[in-house]
Amino acid sequence: MDNVKIKARISITRVVFLLSLTATVLALGVVVLISGHVREKSVHDLARDEARQTSTLVFETLYAAMRKGWSKDEIGDVITRLQAALPDLSIHVIRGRPVIEQYGEYANDAAIVRHDPLLQEVFASGKETLLPSPTGIRYLYPLVVKEECLACHTVAKVGDINGVIDIVYPVHALKVSLDYVLNTVLAYFFAILLLLSAALYFKLKIFVARPITNMVGLMQEIIQHTDLSRRVETNGIIAEVADLSDYFNKLLRTVEDYQHRLEDLSIRDPLTRLYNRRKFDEFLDHEIDRAQRHGHPFCVAQIDLDDFKNINDTFGHPIGDLALKELASVLYREVRRTDVVARVGADEFSVLLPETTMEEGIAAAEKLRQAVADCQLGLPVGGVRITASVGLVSYPDNADDAQKLAIAADVAIYKAKRSGKNQVAVIGEGEDATVAIFSQGEMVRSALAEGRLVPFYQPIVAAQDGSVAAYEVLARVVDGDQAVCAGDFIESAEELGLAGEIDAAVFDGALAAMAAGKLGDAKIFVNLSAKSLTDRERMMAIPRRLAEAGVAADRVVLEITEREALPHFGDIVAMINELRSTGLGFALDDFGSGFSSFLYLKYITVDYVKIEGSFIRHVVTDERDRIMVEHIHSMARRFGMITIAEFVEDEATMVLLRKMGINLCQGFHIAVPKPIDRL
């Protein structure tokens, strides 16, 4: 299970709905809060106005009565009638000091003032006062003495407070009326707000959520079907959403363009614009399937340009590239529309000829060869002519699968080259051995490319006590649980020029094992092919590589045979002496197998002599082999060399070699070659 936690996600439609709902609730809450404040303020303001008007009315009524000369009882009767007319109001008239002094006290006015701080404040300040409460509003209206009041109130003077009208005005009726109005307004407002929120929700859903949802759906379809040709419709009216759709479509077009380019690069050679090897192999597999279903033959022409390396070396690679492009055009013009032309190597081309017999294929191949030979390449350096060798193979005559066809084509090319170049060659009877060589070569190439050509190690032990003195490093091709011995492929590899690559792979693997300390203090014996021995640059680099890896040079012994040494004897002798001076050891392998073996000991200074295995295999039962081994060992000892007996396959041989004084032994009786992880 994947331990990565996926965060909870919510659709954009739900987000839009929640945003609309949240906005509606917040707006309604704000309006309710504001309406409550407005309601309270409106109630207070209306009550104040009503109380002021009532106070003014009471004052004017009382003033009119007093101007007529009414008695105190008559004025009290007026107040009672006012309260009866306005039953919800509480009206009291409290006399002030000037009136009490002139007309006397009325209903304990002085006591009422003493127990009411608010009345005291109004008498003192002469200012009207409004005091709200949950049930009503108390309004205190002071009666300030004016000039016209002095006619009756002779004790008072202008500015005195003759009294206070105390009115308690109920607000219940106002609240009910105002609540009805406000609630009606709120209801209409809430209904309109809901309609606006719904409209906003559907607008956002249609113009924002739906385009994004469509885009997501399109992305899923593109991922599922890998169809980059799909596009999002950009008919929205919201600029940002339309821009998002436009840029998404532009991104799709860009990715689609890059996909087409990558697809083209994956199947086309960028220089010649012909198909590459990968695509050619696909066409070949398809043609094999068609041929098997319909029972018709086809041919493959492998074209290798003759000495094309000279053009690159003489005129440079840019001129070589121009030549390849022009040759590709020539080949493409000369084939049928149903044929497939591909560049499969640096200077190699392949042509697939569907539904073509061998006779028709030879004619087509000859036509291609002649077209190349007749073409004068118009290059910046002048007219250049080039020839081509063509190898032609037929299905199913020469092979019945793609791999075997490729090997057969290589064999045909090899034959054309060896026959003088600039010709068409086919595989004839009696060439199975050549096909086998190329099959083994293909196996080695694949193993080298895939890292399956690895070193195996066979112990070389001291004859006296059996302690491991060294390991011989042997090349093996690993195929699953099987390991192919070098003897099964080395000759083919040498024939095809792969021996040097094998030597390099084996040496690199052994050097890495030694640097990692996997072989302890033991030495290694490494076989060298003629290809490696004649590559002076590679040979002289060995001491430097050993130093870089931290491996002492005296732990490495290079094995050479008579066959490798003889063609370049003088150069090899000088190189051996130079390398031995760095600490490297050398061994003569298969000593005694050639007529010149003993002569080599006179001219080549080596450290070890490995006695030919055919002498060792029968040394116990064959007197002549025993004499040969004894003389080789005696001579080597006198030259100061160490002898190694190969092919030790039983204990009796081991005992006899020990008695002879042989220094080191190796063979299947001691141990079979094994990979490094099984030592």
Confidence band, pLDDT 50/70/90 cuts, at residue 243: confident
> Taking Cα atoms as reference points, which of 641, 643, 639, 650 lies closest to residue 628?
643
What average pLDDT does the structure give for the chain?
84
- Of residues 102 and 347, more confidence is placed in 347
Would you state the pLDDT for residue 172?
67
Give the CA distances from residue 103 to residues 71, 143, 318, in Å, rounded to whole numbers and listed in that order: 10, 16, 133
Fold annotation for 13-177: Beta-Lactamase (3.30.450)
Q: What is the pLDDT of residues 394-436, one digit of tens each?
A: 999 888 889 889 888 888 988 898 889 999 999 876 565 566 6
Per the structure block, which two tokens stand in for 385?
């002519």
pLDDT at 168: 81
Kindly state the average pLDDT of the residues 565-584: 84
**What is the average pLDDT across 380-385?**
77
Residue 477's φ and ψ, nearest 5 degrees, are -100, 115
Q: Is the pLDDT of residue 370 over 70?
A: yes
Greatest mean pLDDT among 19-23, 210-214, 496-500, 670-674 lies in 670-674
272 pLDDT exceeds 50?
yes
SS (H, E, C) 18-76: HHHHHHHHHHHHHHHHHHHHHHHHHHHHHHHHHHHHHHHHHHHHHHHHHHCCCCHHHHH
Closest to 311 measured CA to CA, from 382, 415, 390, 369? 382
3, pLDDT greater than 60: no
pTM: 0.55
The closest alpha carbon to 523, from 532, 515, 514, 531, belongs to 514
Q: CA 666 to CA 647: how far, in whole Å?
A: 6
DSSP secondary structure string for all residues of 192-230? HHHHHHHHHHHHHIIIIIHHHHHHHHHHHHHHHH--TT-
Residue of 120, 169, 117 whose CA lies nearest to 142: 120
Task: For residue range 510-567, list pLDDT tens digits in order.
Answer: 999 999 999 999 999 999 888 888 888 999 999 999 999 999 999 999 998 866 666 6
Q: Three-state secondary structure along 170-191?
A: ECHHHHHHHHHHHHHHHHHHHH
- Residue 87 pLDDT greater than 50, yes or no: yes
CATH class of the domain comprising 448-678: alpha beta
Token duo for residue 153: 């109130």
How far is C-alpha 508 from the geometric centre of its chain's CA atoms?
Answer: 33
Could you say which architecture CATH assigns to the domain 271-428? 2-Layer Sandwich (3.30)
pLDDT tens digit sequence for 444-461: 888 888 899 999 999 999
CA distances 148 to 58, 59, 63, 145, Å, are: 18, 14, 11, 8
Backbone angle region of 463, left / alpha / beta, with phi > 0 → left and psi within -120 to 50 → alpha:
alpha
Rounded CA gap, 644 and 633, in Å? 9
- For 641, other C-beta atoms within 10 Å of its C-beta total 21
Distance between CA atoms of residues 189 and 191, nearest Å = 5
Structure tokens at 457: 């190690």
Cα gap 409→615, rounded to integer Å = 43
Kindly state the average pLDDT of the residues 126-154. 80
- What is the pLDDT at residue 363? 95
Where along the chain do its domains lie? 13-177, 228-267, 271-428, 448-678
Share of the chain above pLDDT 90, in %: 39
The answer to whether the CB of 529 falls within 8 A of the CB of 495 is no
Number of neighbours of residue 516 by Cβ within 10 angstroms: 10
Q: Which residue has the higher pLDDT, 1 or 599?
A: 599
